[in-house]
Structure 1
């Protein structure tokens, strides 16, 4: 816990907020309390490992993932409980699916986390008999996503540009963390839509190239800050 408090201090997150977040993550099954040589600590659960691996693969996806022309289709049983229904919608959006109707969702590829959600329904791969661009535009608001990429890019360029030459590694860590946090929000909006179906000059390409370059450039100093604080535990 002490190491986490030190790591999050440059982001302006106070110790009580860190402790509250950790407690919530334990209750939700993302962390397990463990005994470390230094004292009480926490370990990621298999559920958390799956989420971190999948999210990292999508955040740092680099070049476009090849698409085989088939859609992953989910046909859900009706969920009557409103709170559970909203959680399910949020989870499916994060995993890269979009609704065609209340009970039918599609994604450009299956998510490895799908089984863990225990979704009431059925899913399968399918080929669309029609113009796939029309299907994509029906499920995802491309205009809104494109504007979001442009707005993020302008904001991210200002954020990175605020770093002075030779900035200390805690400051670099804070800026890189904010950069990644802003970029990861696109996991809820753009699951890596097939490039062949996107409009010419898609803003996501320029935004992704900027993120990939800056995240890699800032990584050594940010990682040094993390390593130093973990070693101090």
Structure 2
């Protein structure tokens, strides 16, 4: 687990509900519980400040950081998709995005990753597709210095569903279902403090589940097979995340308070 992605998880899953801010000492303590060393945390914080995700602040007389507006929007969208909070009705049409690709390999790579994270897939060269419009598309394009034209279409060739590797996604959900119980057992047994154990187990559970943000755009249910394992995987994730949340939250409060 990288410190930067862990900080995104921490702000999105725990700190956004607490004014989106925390002292540095609390960030270090919380991520120490999931095996990330203090120097890595501080380095990641500096990079996220430079990238516009975090802003320095004085919190209770101590140095800390709060999530910027850019980060808050990103985290809210990700949280809706992680917890599958909104089952959006689908009208049968697809959003097509024709991207004018910016120069620079690193910029293009970052843009591709950001579009994938939002739930788009590349259908053909420069044409990205999603079953739903994504609210952060404009900000992602602006950050990359890119422009795009968008359209909604019912009949698309090749079929948009082909942009996603559903066989690989099915295998990934099956693997997650098989490994999740062992992951929880290992992390619950790794800490003597039951609240810290709950925090660590839930943190790793959520972190592992977030990988599906890049693989699963939240395709409409009517496009998926009746035995699609993503449904049962989502039920297991929601149940275990909710079960561990009270003790996990108490550990977060302890770290923030002191």
Shorter-chain TM range is over 0.9
TM-score relative to the length of structure 1: 0.92
Structure 1, unpaired ranges of 5+: none
Aligned to 2:14: none
Separation in 2, partners of 1:59, 1:80: 32
TM-score relative to the length of structure 2: 0.84
Residue 80 of structure 2 contacts residue 86 of structure 2 at CA under 8 Å; is this kept in 1? no
Instruction: Tell me which of 141, 147, 153 is aligned to 1:126.
Output: 153
The structural deviation recorded for 1:63 is 6.8
Matched, 1:177 2:203: yes
Instruction: Tell me which of 223, 229, 232 is aligned to 2:255.
Output: 229
Secondary structure of 2:247's counterpart equals helix
Residue-pair matches, total: 228
Secondary structure of 2:159's counterpart equals helix
Secondary structure of 1:43's counterpart equals strand
The structural deviation recorded for 1:138 is 1.3
Separation in 2, partners of 1:146, 1:229: 38
Structure 2, unpaired ranges of 5+: 1-23
The structural deviation recorded for 1:85 is 1.1
Residue 49 of structure 2 contacts residue 55 of structure 2 at CA under 8 Å; is this kept in 1? yes
Separation in 1, partners of 2:75, 2:85: 17
4+ long deviations beyond 6 Å = none
Alignment of 1:15-94 (within 5 A): 15-62=38-85, 64-94=87-117
Aligned to 1:143: 167
Separation in 1, partners of 2:155, 2:181: 39
CA shift in 2, pair 1:110/1:83, >3 Å: same
